[in-house]
Copies of this chain bind each other. A is one copy, B any other.
């Protein structure tokens, strides 16, 4: 905090114009409503893989004066970005990353990113761009000679960026326009941006920071288009930080969030690069001829994008973090805020509409954390296999799970964070509540690392292929889909038999329902596709016209099944350590499931359940939301970072929302202030 700001703050404290606030009741009373959540047990199982790294990152942030949200709120974009660079250094330097460590533990790198995202997603994104998108691309596509680049990246000697998207093309990577023309004389390449739309766009760290970039470009050899290849190229002079000749770097300008990242554009004008810039693990130029070990063009393109794998993982974690932050604020505020009630004023969180919004939101946040766990575990298992064979079944399966989880988590986050904003009423609109900031973070997850509407199709394609293979009796490895039924008649004959809340609240019963949904949508999607392929001349159009109600829903239902399975594991593991906490997380799982089943109710009513059973689910849903309202505060308390990290005056752990709000407002230099345009007020009179 600047000295002036600090002074103002102190002065304002002393000279506050407000009546002395009596010590607010805060959250103590509400906390007493439910005391059975063991915070430690819950946090350990919840954060799991990230537990240690996250504790450590939180500690760094809590102890360093570099981190103050209040200051960022008041500073210019330029200063803010500089601050983020300092913060990045502060945390990164404590983790001593290296290529070796990454090979040993593929989750290690993501640990500090998780903690950074709790504080500020601009900060974590800066890290992701460099150490995941840039570095992973080289790790995945480079060869021995690129090892130095990798080491430089881990040592932060180079600061890298990921140059894929262009002004004119994002999702459709196959149509990027930047060219890399092979020059047989020099053996190198010339990069060019032939059109305005070919400008690389949105590239994180380009406007101010990066000296390196991995550039996705169309390789031209001997006038022939060989498709997209990736090149690791310097873009700024290492010493002077000047943009290199032949390169243009600029700032993409104002964004609706994430001001701390310097997204920019890149243009190339006959920019010459050496042969070794080509990341040549799978494709090379030998004797002037292009060669690739991956024959299928589409597959090759997919492999080029492998740098996005852990990027997507971070989008899932990011969604969970942003959502949990919003919930921490809204649930705490919902507990301390009282409005109406007769005769005593009631915490708004105890209203049915309110807990149905927020406690259900919390169940989704936990499901999102489960999504991250699934990805972690699958990635650890798949990485060694796919390193040997990038076309293996396991990677395809992982890719389809990851894609659908990324979509669903981003969409959950967007919906829940909006609920949280609304749940805080007017104070949710104040910047000091931080809800706008966290909601702004989560929004972009639907777009980057693969746009949701596009990504969902990939999962759908995978599942339908697996069904096709099953039909044909072909061999394949896909444990996540082992429940898939070949016979649609059998699917349609499924009936869930629960007759009461007690029978519904049963893991087997719920998983059967969720598996049924995937089975049902798989078969109806196939039928829809067949219909469409008769109605339209080409398969692409048929595919595009089988999305709504079918393939998109299939992808989502698959993701939710995966999350539900992991949710059960989580609750079982917690139960082993603390029965009472485990039971609460189980209840949260039932709430999550009830909500998800009601969300597809017409599918279920078609054959699997009756209207009477639907009523049971509804009642269960409402009762669980209400019963869990007291526990919800304990849960967010157990998982929340410090007040300093969360940075919300209405969501702080002591529940002193009003005095903190007054404080924040009175600390602004212009709180009591006459604007310079007072003459305008006289001006408008009598007009």
- Does A670 contact B255, Cβ atoms closer than 8 Å? no
- Does A414 contact B418, Cβ atoms closer than 8 Å? yes
Across the A-B interface, the 7 shortest Cβ-Cβ residue pairs: A256-B436, A82-B677, A254-B431, A21-B196, A93-B687, A89-B684, A601-B602
In this complex, the member of A81, A86, A429, A683 whose beta carbon has the largest number of chain B beta carbons within 10 angstroms is: A429
- Whether a CB of chain B sits under 8 angstroms from the CB of A157 is yes
Assembly CA distance A680 to B90 (angstroms): 12
Separation in Å of the A405 CB from the closest CB of chain B?
A: 18
- Does B618 contact A549, Cβ atoms closer than 8 Å? yes
Give chain B residues whose Cβ lies under 8 Å from the Cβ of A202. 426
- Does A429 contact B257, Cβ atoms closer than 8 Å? yes
Contact mask for chain A residues 418-460; partner B; CB cutoff 8 A; 1 contact, 0 none: 1001100110111110011000000110111001110000000
- Whether a CB of chain B sits under 8 angstroms from the CB of A356 is yes
Contact mask for chain A residues 77-97; partner B; CB cutoff 8 A; 1 contact, 0 none: 011011001101100110000
- Does B658 contact A197, Cβ atoms closer than 8 Å? yes
Assembly CA distance A431 to B259 (angstroms): 11
Contact mask for chain A residues 161-199; partner B; CB cutoff 8 A; 1 contact, 0 none: 000010111111001000000000000000001111111
Residue in B157, B265, B681 whose beta carbon sits within 8 Å of that of A209 in the complex: B681
Separation in Å of the A217 CB from the closest CB of chain B?
A: 15
- Does B447 contact A254, Cβ atoms closer than 8 Å? no
Separation in Å of the A330 CB from the closest CB of chain B?
A: 13
Separation in Å of the A613 CB from the closest CB of chain B?
A: 11
- Does A265 contact B665, Cβ atoms closer than 8 Å? yes
- Does B622 contact A340, Cβ atoms closer than 8 Å? no
- Whether a CB of chain B sits under 8 angstroms from the CB of A289 is no
Residue in B339, B418, B549 whose beta carbon sits within 8 Å of that of A170 in the complex: B339
- Does B267 contact A18, Cβ atoms closer than 8 Å? yes
Task: Supply 16 further A-B pairs (C-beta < 8 A) apart from A168-B658, A414-B418, A429-B443.
Answer: A19-B194, A19-B267, A22-B195, A167-B661, A169-B339, A172-B345, A249-B672, A250-B666, A253-B431, A254-B668, A256-B436, A352-B546, A429-B447, A545-B626, A601-B601, A606-B611
Assembly CA distance A211 to B681 (angstroms): 10
The 28 listed contacts between A and B (C-beta, < 8 Å) are A78-B676, A78-B677, A82-B676, A88-B684, A155-B685, A156-B686, A159-B684, A168-B658, A175-B345, A208-B675, A209-B681, A250-B672, A253-B432, A253-B665, A253-B668, A256-B429, A256-B435, A352-B544, A352-B545, A353-B547, A354-B453, A414-B418, A422-B447, A422-B453, A549-B622, A602-B602, A602-B605, A606-B611
Assembly CA distance A194 to B18 (angstroms): 10
In this complex, the member of A159, A194, A658, A665 whose beta carbon has the largest number of chain B beta carbons within 10 angstroms is: A665
Assembly CA distance A677 to B241 (angstroms): 12
- Does B430 contact A447, Cβ atoms closer than 8 Å? no
Give chain B residues whose Cβ lies under 8 Å from the Cβ of A252. 430, 665
- Does B681 contact A85, Cβ atoms closer than 8 Å? yes
Give chain B residues whose Cβ lies under 8 Å from the Cβ of A658. 167-168, 196-197
Separation in Å of the A446 CB from the closest CB of chain B?
A: 5
- Whether a CB of chain B sits under 8 angstroms from the CB of A201 is yes
Chain B residue nearest in CB terms to A81: B675
Separation in Å of the A619 CB from the closest CB of chain B?
A: 9
Assembly CA distance A453 to B353 (angstroms): 7
Assembly CA distance A167 to B19 (angstroms): 13
Assembly CA distance A686 to B89 (angstroms): 10
Give chain B residues whose Cβ lies under 8 Å from the Cβ of A548. 352-353, 356, 622
Q: A252-B665, A675-B82, A687-B92 are in contact. Are A659 and B196 (CB under 8 A)?
A: yes
- Does A171 contact B425, Cβ atoms closer than 8 Å? yes
Separation in Å of the A138 CB from the closest CB of chain B?
A: 18
Contact mask for chain A residues 89-113; partner B; CB cutoff 8 A; 1 contact, 0 none: 1001100000000000000000000
Chain B residue nearest in CB terms to A668: B253
Contact mask for chain A residues 289-320; partner B; CB cutoff 8 A; 1 contact, 0 none: 00000000000000000000000000000000
Q: A196-B21, A196-B658 are in contact. Are A171 and B339 (CB under 8 A)?
A: yes
Contact mask for chain A residues 54-84; partner B; CB cutoff 8 A; 1 contact, 0 none: 0000000000000000000100001101100
Separation in Å of the A305 CB from the closest CB of chain B?
A: 16
Separation in Å of the A369 CB from the closest CB of chain B?
A: 23
- Does B254 contact A432, Cβ atoms closer than 8 Å? yes
Residue in B196, B251, B354 whose beta carbon sits within 8 Å of that of A668 in the complex: B251
Q: Which residues of chain A from 609 to 651 have a CB within 8 Å of any chain B CB? A: 611, 614, 618, 622, 626
Give chain B residues whose Cβ lies under 8 Å from the Cβ of A171. 339-340, 425
Assembly CA distance A19 to B265 (angstroms): 13
Chain B residue nearest in CB terms to A626: B545
- Whether a CB of chain B sits under 8 angstroms from the CB of A538 is yes
- Whether a CB of chain B sits under 8 angstroms from the CB of A388 is no
Assembly CA distance A659 to B167 (angstroms): 10
Contact mask for chain A residues 516-553; partner B; CB cutoff 8 A; 1 contact, 0 none: 00000000000000000000001010001111110010
- Does A431 contact B671, Cβ atoms closer than 8 Å? no
Assembly CA distance A342 to B168 (angstroms): 17
- Whether a CB of chain B sits under 8 angstroms from the CB of A14 is no
Give chain B residues whose Cβ lies under 8 Å from the Cβ of A414. 418
Residue in B156, B167, B262, B670 whose beta carbon sits within 8 Å of that of A685 in the complex: B156
Q: A253-B668, A664-B253 are in contact. Are A241 and B88 (CB under 8 A)?
A: no
Contact mask for chain A residues 225-267; partner B; CB cutoff 8 A; 1 contact, 0 none: 0000000000000000100000011111111110000100101
Give chain B residues whose Cβ lies under 8 Å from the Cβ of A618. 549
- Whether a CB of chain B sits under 8 angstroms from the CB of A678 is yes
Q: A196-B20, A352-B545 are in contact. Are A429 and B255 (CB under 8 A)?
A: yes
- Whether a CB of chain B sits under 8 angstroms from the CB of A17 is yes
- Does A342 contact B430, Cβ atoms closer than 8 Å? no
Chain B residue nearest in CB terms to A209: B681
- Whether a CB of chain B sits under 8 angstroms from the CB of A351 is yes
Separation in Å of the A271 CB from the closest CB of chain B?
A: 13
Assembly CA distance A49 to B547 (angstroms): 40
- Does B540 contact A342, Cβ atoms closer than 8 Å? yes
Assembly CA distance A168 to B677 (angstroms): 32
Q: Which residues of chain A from 559 to 594 have a CB within 8 Å of any chain B CB? A: none
- Does B93 contact A251, Cβ atoms closer than 8 Å? no
Separation in Å of the A164 CB from the closest CB of chain B?
A: 11
